[in-house]
């Protein structure tokens, strides 16, 4: 299973690795090697030393803190002090550092460096110009938050394949049923 990156920011993508938070939760970071895969697939690093269980526990804690901060920001609420402290503490650690090689850019990191990089993305997002562009998916079962960079700012779903098609198909079926009932 590959991870999904629809949100427009690595911190949001990490926050969305726990899917369907309001219904049947689906955890995509269920083992240390899944976290390794997430770091690589996200493009944050090109190589990461193998994650251990403690790295996974820390990443899940930071993920939950990022989600709490993002949803508070969307709701116009104040930040949770513990979530804020955890993200800031994680961001203070050394990040993944790109190196120039004969073949181009290469980023090799430890799990702690990769997570620090994600925390820094969260801080930049929540204190930067993309805050007004953050939206939660319009699918009531989905809890993904994304950056809406669409023309006109009318994007409603995290992705067409995952949510948009489901909602549109359900609306179509409802219209057909209503039309049939009216006859």
pLDDT tens for each residue of 29-61: 999 999 999 999 999 999 999 999 999 999 999
Is residue 22 within 8 Å of residue 56, measured between CB atoms?
Answer: no
Query: Is the pLDDT score of 143 beyond 90?
Result: no
Specify the pLDDT at position 6. 85
Query: Is the pLDDT score of 108 beyond 70?
Result: yes
What does DSSP assign to residue 155?
-
Specify the pLDDT at position 104. 96
Domains of the chain as residue ranges with CATH = 10-182 (1.10.3300.10)
pLDDT over 70 percentage in the chain: 91
Structure token digits, residue 99: 């190196």
Total count of residues recorded for the chain: 183
Residue 169 pLDDT class (50, 70, 90 cuts): low
- Cα distance between residue 105 and residue 116, in whole Å: 19
Specify the pLDDT at position 156. 85
Residue 179 pLDDT class (50, 70, 90 cuts): confident
pLDDT tens for each residue of 87-100: 999 999 999 999 99
Specify the pLDDT at position 155. 84
Residue 164 pLDDT class (50, 70, 90 cuts): low
- Cα distance between residue 113 and residue 97, in whole Å: 8
Query: Is the pLDDT score of 73 beyond 80?
Result: yes
Q: Given CA atoms 17, 27, 65, 107 in this order, what sign does their dihedral have?
A: negative
- Cα distance between residue 175 and residue 72, in whole Å: 35
Tell me the three state secondary structure of residue 26: strand
């Amino acid at each position: 299973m590959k991870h999904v990156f629809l949100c427009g920011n690595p911190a949001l993508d990490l926050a969305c690795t726990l899917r369907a938070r309001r219904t049947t939760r689906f955890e995509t970071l269920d083992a240390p090697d899944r976290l390794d895969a997430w770091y690589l697939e996200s493009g944050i690093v090109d190589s990461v030393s193998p994650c251990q269980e403690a790295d996974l526990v820390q990443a899940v804690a930071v993920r939950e803190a990022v989600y709490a901060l993002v949803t508070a920001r969307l709701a116009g609420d104040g930040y949770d002090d513990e979530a804020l402290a955890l993200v800031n503490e994680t961001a203070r650690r050394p990040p993944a550092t790109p190196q120039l090689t004969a073949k181009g850019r290469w980023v090799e990191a430890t799990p702690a460096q990769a997570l620090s990089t994600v925390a820094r993305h969260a801080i930049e997002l929540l204190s930067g110009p993309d805050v007004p562009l953050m939206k939660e998916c319009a699918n009531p079962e989905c809890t993904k938050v994304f950056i809406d960079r669409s023309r006109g700012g009318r994007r409603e779903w995290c992705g067409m394949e995952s949510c948009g098609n489901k909602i549109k198909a359900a609306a179509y079926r409802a219209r057909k049923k209503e039309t049939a009932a009216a006859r």
